[in-house]
Amino acid sequence: MKQISFSTVIGAHVNYILYGLVMLLSLAFTPIALLSVPPKDSGPVIAVFAPWTDMDSAIEASGTKEIFPIRTALAAIIDAPTLESRNALKHNGAIFILNGDLLAILCGVENV
Protein backbone atom coordinates (compact mmCIF):
# COMPACT_ATOMS: atom_id res chain seq x y z
CA MET A 1 0.00 0.00 0.00
CA LYS A 2 1.40 3.36 -1.05
CA GLN A 3 1.66 6.08 1.59
CA ILE A 4 0.26 9.49 0.73
CA SER A 5 1.88 12.43 2.43
CA PHE A 6 0.05 15.47 3.71
CA SER A 7 1.90 17.77 1.31
CA THR A 8 0.80 15.63 -1.64
CA VAL A 9 -2.87 15.95 -0.66
CA ILE A 10 -2.62 19.69 0.01
CA GLY A 11 -0.63 20.29 -3.17
CA ALA A 12 -3.27 18.55 -5.27
CA HIS A 13 -6.11 20.58 -3.76
CA VAL A 14 -4.48 23.97 -3.24
CA ASN A 15 -6.65 25.58 -5.95
CA TYR A 16 -9.82 24.40 -4.24
CA ILE A 17 -8.57 25.65 -0.90
CA LEU A 18 -7.80 29.07 -2.38
CA TYR A 19 -11.20 29.27 -4.11
CA GLY A 20 -12.93 28.34 -0.88
CA LEU A 21 -10.98 30.94 1.05
CA VAL A 22 -11.86 33.68 -1.45
CA MET A 23 -15.56 32.72 -1.27
CA LEU A 24 -15.52 32.66 2.52
CA LEU A 25 -13.87 36.08 2.77
CA SER A 26 -16.20 37.64 0.22
CA LEU A 27 -19.27 36.28 2.01
CA ALA A 28 -17.97 37.47 5.36
CA PHE A 29 -16.90 40.99 4.38
CA THR A 30 -19.64 42.02 1.97
CA PRO A 31 -22.33 42.62 4.64
CA ILE A 32 -19.81 44.39 6.85
CA ALA A 33 -18.78 46.66 3.98
CA LEU A 34 -22.40 47.49 3.15
CA LEU A 35 -23.30 48.31 6.73
CA SER A 36 -20.14 50.21 7.54
CA VAL A 37 -20.94 53.03 5.11
CA PRO A 38 -21.10 56.21 7.20
CA PRO A 39 -24.68 57.20 8.05
CA LYS A 40 -26.31 60.04 6.16
CA ASP A 41 -27.11 63.31 7.88
CA SER A 42 -30.55 61.99 8.76
CA GLY A 43 -32.41 58.72 8.63
CA PRO A 44 -32.26 55.35 10.31
CA VAL A 45 -29.16 54.02 11.99
CA ILE A 46 -28.30 50.69 13.52
CA ALA A 47 -27.14 51.24 17.07
CA VAL A 48 -25.10 48.35 18.46
CA PHE A 49 -24.91 48.26 22.25
CA ALA A 50 -22.68 46.42 24.70
CA PRO A 51 -24.30 43.41 26.38
CA TRP A 52 -24.34 45.15 29.77
CA THR A 53 -26.10 48.28 28.44
CA ASP A 54 -29.83 48.70 28.99
CA MET A 55 -30.93 49.51 25.43
CA ASP A 56 -34.33 50.90 26.39
CA SER A 57 -32.82 53.38 28.84
CA ALA A 58 -30.05 54.38 26.43
CA ILE A 59 -32.48 55.00 23.58
CA GLU A 60 -34.81 56.99 25.81
CA ALA A 61 -31.98 59.02 27.36
CA SER A 62 -30.64 59.95 23.94
CA GLY A 63 -34.00 61.34 22.82
CA THR A 64 -34.33 58.94 19.88
CA LYS A 65 -36.87 56.25 19.08
CA GLU A 66 -36.88 52.81 17.54
CA ILE A 67 -38.50 52.62 14.13
CA PHE A 68 -38.80 48.84 13.87
CA PRO A 69 -40.55 46.83 16.57
CA ILE A 70 -38.23 43.83 16.38
CA ARG A 71 -34.63 44.07 17.57
CA THR A 72 -31.71 41.81 18.23
CA ALA A 73 -30.15 41.28 21.62
CA LEU A 74 -27.48 43.91 20.98
CA ALA A 75 -28.80 46.22 18.24
CA ALA A 76 -31.83 48.21 17.17
CA ILE A 77 -32.87 50.28 14.16
CA ILE A 78 -33.25 53.81 15.46
CA ASP A 79 -34.34 57.10 13.94
CA ALA A 80 -31.50 59.46 14.77
CA PRO A 81 -32.23 62.58 12.70
CA THR A 82 -29.25 64.68 13.76
CA LEU A 83 -25.58 64.32 14.56
CA GLU A 84 -26.36 65.33 18.13
CA SER A 85 -28.78 62.42 18.54
CA ARG A 86 -26.13 60.00 17.23
CA ASN A 87 -23.59 61.42 19.65
CA ALA A 88 -26.16 61.05 22.44
CA LEU A 89 -26.58 57.38 21.51
CA LYS A 90 -22.83 56.87 21.74
CA HIS A 91 -22.71 58.77 25.04
CA ASN A 92 -25.47 56.52 26.43
CA GLY A 93 -23.77 53.23 25.55
CA ALA A 94 -23.89 52.56 21.81
CA ILE A 95 -20.65 50.98 20.66
CA PHE A 96 -21.26 51.40 16.92
CA ILE A 97 -23.59 53.56 14.86
CA LEU A 98 -24.04 51.99 11.42
CA ASN A 99 -25.91 53.05 8.30
CA GLY A 100 -29.44 51.70 8.64
CA ASP A 101 -30.93 52.48 5.23
CA LEU A 102 -30.19 49.13 3.60
CA LEU A 103 -31.21 47.08 6.61
CA ALA A 104 -34.38 49.13 7.11
CA ILE A 105 -35.40 48.48 3.51
CA LEU A 106 -34.69 44.77 3.88
CA CYS A 107 -36.78 44.67 7.06
CA GLY A 108 -39.78 46.30 5.42
CA VAL A 109 -39.56 49.84 6.76
CA GLU A 110 -41.09 52.15 4.16
CA ASN A 111 -40.18 55.74 3.23
CA VAL A 112 -36.52 55.46 4.14
What span, in angstroms and rounded, lies between the C-alpha atoms of 1 and 11? 21
* Same domain membership, residue 91 and residue 53: yes
* 22-79 pLDDT tens trace: 888 877 776 666 666 666 677 788 888 989 989 999 999 999 999 877 788 888 888 8
- 112 part of a folded domain: no
In the chain, DSSP assigns E strands to 44-49, 65-66, 75-79, 94-99
β-strands 75-79, 94-99: how paired?
unpaired
Domain region containing 101: 44-106
In 14-54, DSSP assigns E strands to 44-49
Which pTM was predicted?
0.60
| Residue 98: count of CB within 10 angstroms of its CB | 21
pLDDT value of residue 4: 65
Question: Which of 29-33, 86-90, 108-112 is predicted most confidently?
Answer: 86-90
Query: Which H or E element spans position 31?
Result: helix 14-35
* Same domain membership, residue 49 and residue 30: no
107 DSSP 8-state letter: T
